[in-house]
Amino acid sequence: MKYFDHMTDTTLCAHILQGLDILHDQIQRNDADMPATDLILVLQSLSALRRNGPLSETAADEIGRIESLLDQAISQETLGFRNVFDGIEDPELGAVGRVRAVPVLSEKGAALDRLLKGFRQFLAMRNLLAARVDSRLMVNRKIAA
């Protein structure tokens, strides 16, 4: 995320739109073997985000639809769970962290998970851009008052 913090708004927006194009192409190839109806809905939502902009009034609905469809598809491809230690081994205290249950995915599930991770990167960039826009609006309101 630090990489995106240093981008201008124009460059960040260009990366967001490019990311949408890349995701659209990846999903259109259907490497994850999504059902046709889900595939069409995701592609339509990505196209709407690209056409209307990532900060449009309809963006939240499109984002929610995409996340929901990908999450649902991944959950159907979950074979089980395995425990993974998330932390560090401290020489004085021993293991410091927690154990998380991580899903074990089929090949199809792993492909869907890669798509979801790419989508979440788009969301992180979009949220940064939205925060910048919101902060400018707040500052401008304070100056005008």
Whether 46 is in a domain gets the answer yes
SS3 90: strand
> What was the pLDDT predicted at 7?
87
Q: Using alpha carbons, list the distances in angstroms from residue 1 to 7, 52, 122, 123.
A: 11, 24, 11, 11
Residue 1 pLDDT > 60: no
Whether 93 is in a domain gets the answer no
Let me know: does 5 contact 111? Beta carbons within 8 Å: no
SS3 100: strand
Whether 7 is in a domain gets the answer yes
Q: What CATH number is attached to the domain comprising 131? A: 1.20.120
Whether 94 is in a domain gets the answer no
Residue 124 pLDDT > 70: yes
Give the chain's domain count: 1
Whether 91 is in a domain gets the answer no
Residue 2: pLDDT band (50, 70, 90) is low
Long-range contact set of residues 42-45: C-beta below 8 Å, sequence gap at least 24? 42/66, 42/69, 42/70
Whether 85 is in a domain gets the answer no
Whether 118 is in a domain gets the answer yes
Domain span holding position 33: 2-79+107-144
Q: Summarize pLDDT for 71-92 with one digit per residue, the tens.
A: 999 999 999 999 999 999 888 8
> What was the pLDDT predicted at 55?
93
Q: State if pTM tops 0.85.
A: no
